[in-house]
Amino acid sequence: MAEIGKGVTAGKLAINVQKRLTRAQEKVLQKLGKADETRDVVFEEMVANFNKQMGEGTKLQKDLKAYLAAVKTMHDASRRLQDCLADMYEPDWFGKEEMDALAEDTDTMWLDYHQSITDKSLQDMDMYLSQFPDIKARIAKRDRKLVDFDSARHHFTSLQKGKKKDEAKIAKPAALLEMAAPSWAQGLISAHQVAQTNLSYNQAEEDLGRAQKIFEELNVELQDELPALWDRRVGVYVNTFQSLAGHQEKFHKEMSKLSENLNDIMTKLEEQRQIKSAPPPGPPPSRPPPRMTPSPNQQQQNVSPFEDEPSVHDTNTDSTTTTLQVRLTANVYVLGTYKKILYDFDRNTLFSFTDFICKSDVNEKRLFCFLQVKAVHDYAATDGDELELKMGDVVLVLAFDNPDEQDDGWLMGLKESHWFQKKDISAKGVFPENFTQRV
Amino acid sequence: MAENKMGPNLQAGAGIFAKRVQKSLNRAQEKVLQKLGKTMETKDEQFELCSQNLNKQQIDGSRLFKDVKAYYAAVKGMHETSKRLSQTLSDIYESDWDGVKDLAVITESEDLLWNDYEEKINDQLVRTMENYTSQFPEVKERVAKRGRKLVDYDSARHHLEALQGAKKKDEAKIAKAEEEFNKAQNVFEEINNELREELPVLHQSRIGCYVTVFENISNLRDVFYKEMSGLNRELYNVMKKLETQHSGKAFIIKGLNRCVDPGSKTCRTPALEAWG
């Protein structure tokens, strides 16, 4: 149709303008009820379905995108939590390596999940939706061609009706003209007039045929495609949600396993902690616990303030370290800093003492660090190796020669006054711990 | 603690012997005072460590609290978007499709599961962290108070030392200064001892808190994911049924200008009706 104006933009423009004018005119006539519209109710239903389908698809795509964004947010939040735990985790705690491996696996799993949904569901949805704009354009084109068809039809019918009228109209003036014309021109004018009307009539007929053909072509195409598309939507939805559900199921199953593992690690860590920590005892003065006869010792350990090597262990951490046996009455050359020491009575009781008393002997060559307790109650010695206590006595705690000898709740010590007097530990004895109080 | 019992009340001018005794006494006294100072320093060093630990603990605690809140928000986000997807599916699901009722049940169950998960996270995680972090301001206040009392103690001590070290000793003043010194010492020692016991315990408690939080979260996740994966499988099956219902139903016969889906009620052709 546009061949006439090809290559000549002015011409083409003119034709397009013409087209639009004609269509607008036709539409006006239709609205005014002066021209009938070709209506296809069934087709309209198809178009309605099409629009609905496009709307559904668009919403689905939007929802999927939102879901993926939430997945990413969740992943980030999850990782930040994991980082908190990892940062706090000390190397000697149970399960550090497993924890790190777990964190890695979790991270990978999130990434895979996000990726697989993006690749499968979202991309498929994008592809599905990409065909809609084109079809929508074609529906619009069909509509325009339909208007063209209608207008050509009306034009033709009006020509048909008017043909007879025209013929009657031009008859009289033509007759006059005829009479005025020379003899050789007689009949030519009327013939010319007839030819003219016939020409436009034929033109209209041709136009009509062409418009009809174009329209029908588009119409049939769409009438095939639209229902097929409408039915295909079920398949698309099924695929989308099936694949989504499948990935979700897999993801959730795996994550559940990882969570279980984390739970196990935490439980074991808790157990490990329970074993180590214990509340510090604070018993009121009471009768001392029954004394057991000391068992024969297998090892004699030489413990005296006059040992050569220091045997003080120091740590900077508190009760999470493994139990240590610390002998306190060693020569410790302390160069200005005191160290915090854990004293483990081998019964899972842990005390942490943060102060020491340092005594130097007369020639200041040695510095002794003692644990110091104060008697809060009198205690009368009931045995030869027991220490007599009066309330207010300051007692320096020593370690047992043989740890096996030590009884529950009893400490070995030396009264400070004796130390001042004799500067040796010969006057040491055992005493009940709960009769004294840490200083 | 060694007490300074060696008062400097000596008669002067008793000879070399007296001088020697005086010297050694003074030195001992000096040492004692030094040791007093040293002990105080020691305690301060260790307390300084405790205080640093406290600060770090508070910072770490706040960080975990923030992250727990972010996690909670993320879970809510997932719930919301997941719900929207389910809603869209319900909307596009036609009433004559297979599994309409199943879908409704699944959607409902998923929503309940999410709500439950959210609620538990709020209770077990967010609340826990809230309580944990809320204890720090008070403790820090007490640490500051101890600092102030320490200053009082130090100044009382210096005052006393100054009086004792003065050439002309005023017994009344010294006695009063001693009294003040003792009082300051007691006040300080009280709060110091309290904190000395409490701070390590508080520091230890962080492990318990963290372990609890992560135990809880891993437990909640475990349960949630198990249930959710079950629901996912059910949805998968519903989709499969739907697919079966609709497979092979849509076909085109060229030449007829109308849709030819026998399943659709809107258009039927006589030829296909026979197939039913």
Contact B266 A45 (CB under 8 A): yes
Q: Could you give the dihedral angle defined by the CA atoms of residues A404, A406, A408 and A409, in that order, rounded to the nearest 10 degrees?
A: -160
User: Do A214 and A148 touch, CB atoms closer than 8 A?
Assistant: yes
Of A63, A228, A242, nearest to B85 by CB-CB distance is: A63
For residue range B13-41, list pLDDT tens digits in order.
557 777 777 666 666 666 665 566 665 66
Contact B236 A245 (CB under 8 A): yes
For residue A17, being part of any structural domain is answered with: no
**Sign of the four-CA dihedral B178, B183, B186, B192:** negative
A264 and A386 belong to one structural domain = no
What residues in A contact B73, CB-CB < 8 Å? 77
Contact A338 B42 (CB under 8 A): yes
A109 and A140 belong to one structural domain = yes
Structural domains in chain B plus CATH codes:
23-34+42-245 (1.20.1270.60), 247-276 (no CATH)
d(CA A154, CA A27): 12
A266 and A312 belong to one structural domain = no
Please list the rounded mean pLDDT of every run of 10 residues in chain A (439 residues): 58 83 78 66 90 94 95 94 88 84 92 92 92 93 89 83 67 70 73 79 86 89 91 90 93 93 89 66 44 39 36 36 32 30 33 39 42 76 82 75 70 78 74 77
Q: Which of A275, A308, A324 lies at the terminal end of a domain, its last residue? A: A275
Chain B residue with minimum CA distance to A274:
B208
A270 and A300 belong to one structural domain = no
CATH at A74 = 1.20.1270.60
d(CA A306, CA A361): 12
For residue range A366-398, list pLDDT tens digits in order.
434 456 777 777 788 887 788 888 877 888 777
Domain that holds residue A177: 39-275
What residues in A contact B246, CB-CB < 8 Å? 231, 234-235, 238
The first and second tokens of residue A432, run together, are: 């009940």
Find which of A234, A335, A339 to mutate to test the B interface (most B CBs within 10 Å of its CB): A234
Of A78, A226, A262, nearest to B71 by CB-CB distance is: A78
Task: Report the domain count for chain A.
Answer: 2
The first and second tokens of residue A370, run together, are: 């003692």
A307 and A199 belong to one structural domain = no
For residue A31, being part of any structural domain is answered with: no
Distances (CA, A) of A209 to A43, A167, A202, B255: 22, 24, 11, 21
For residue A270, being part of any structural domain is answered with: yes
A252 and A321 belong to one structural domain = no
By C-alpha distance, which of A80, A78, A52, A424 is closest to A251? A78
A245 and A347 belong to one structural domain = no
Give the gap in angstroms from C-alpha B179 to the nearest C-alpha of chain A: 21
A112 and A154 belong to one structural domain = yes
What residues in A contact B206, CB-CB < 8 Å? 88
User: Do A316 and A386 touch, CB atoms closer than 8 A?
Assistant: no
A314 and A263 belong to one structural domain = no
d(CA B146, CA B115): 47
Contact B214 A358 (CB under 8 A): no
A231 and A135 belong to one structural domain = yes
d(CA A368, CA A411): 18
Distances (CA, A) of A346 to A276, A350, A402: 12, 9, 12
Find which of A120, A238, A260 to mutate to test the B interface (most B CBs within 10 Å of its CB): A238
| Number of separate helices (H) and strands (E) present in chain A | 7, 8
Residues 6+ apart with CB under 8 A from A210: A1, A152
For residue A23, being part of any structural domain is answered with: no
CATH at A357 = 2.30.30.40
For residue A410, being part of any structural domain is answered with: yes
Q: Which of A225, A245, A275 lies at the terminal end of a domain, its last residue? A: A275
Judged by a CB distance cut-off of 8 A, whether residue B41 touches chain A is no
A311 and A220 belong to one structural domain = no
Q: Which of A215, A242, A275 lies at the terminal end of a domain, its last residue? A: A275
What count of CB pairs under 8 Å joins A to B?
193
User: Do B220 and B192 touch, CB atoms closer than 8 A?
Assistant: no
For residue range A317-328, list pLDDT tens digits in order.
333 322 233 333
A317 and A254 belong to one structural domain = no
pTM of the model: 0.61
In this prediction, residue A290 carries a pLDDT of 46
Chain A residue with minimum CA distance to B125:
A81
- The letter for the amino acid at B174 is I
d(CA B252, CA A340): 89
